[in-house]
Amino acid sequence: MEAKDVLVSLRNKSGMTQDDLADRLFVTRQAVSRWERGETLPGPDTLKQLSALYDVSINTLLGSPRKLVCQCCGMPLDDGSLSREPDGAFNEDYCKWCYADGEFVYKSLDDLVDFLVTHMPNDQWTPEQARPFYAAQLKQLKHWQE
Ligand SMILES: [Zn+2]
């Protein structure tokens, strides 16, 4: 779905008119109408407001142009598994199991590898075989490159 279709569908679902939404966001009705015709996109601050208002991520608002993957554990992300900041805003880099209440759950790569080796279903590999595989995959993610 394109951003304009997502924006129309979320507004309709919320029961708001273009005027209602414009009032909530302190923009003109014409601005809302332009987004919904695909002529312009809401600016970064307005996207944040829309994200909070509809409780969907900015990636979803934009029609999911990015395939989100947790930059800590590598899990594919959707709005149900995304982490949030303490103020409730989505953090689109991490899953809710890796980042909670403003803190990272795994203090080191070894902690996370330990968790994966013991919790991921796996019949073929011994822990000794699985460990370097997970470590190599995880090292490609942003969180572990610093
Ligand atoms: Zn994660």
Of residues 25 and 124, more confidently modeled: 25
pLDDT of residue 124: 86
pLDDT surpassing 90 at residue 121:
no
Q: What is the pLDDT of residues 4-25, one digit of tens each?
A: 999 999 999 999 999 999 999 9
Q: What is the pLDDT of residues 32-71, one digit of tens each?
A: 999 999 999 999 999 999 999 999 999 999 999 999 999 9
> Ligand 1 centre from 135 Cα, in Å?
14
What topology is assigned to 3-61 in CATH? Answer: 434 Repressor (Amino-terminal Domain) (1.10.260)
Which sequence spans correspond to the domains of the chain?
3-61, 109-144
> Ligand 1 centre from 8 Cα, in Å?
31
pLDDT of residue 25: 97
Q: Are 81 and 95 in contact (CB under 8 A)?
A: yes
pLDDT of residue 90: 97
> Ligand 1 centre from 97 Cα, in Å?
6
pTM above 0.75, yes or no: yes
pLDDT of residue 122: 78
> Ligand 1 centre from 63 Cα, in Å?
22
Other C-beta atoms closer than 10 Å to the C-beta of 61 total: 21
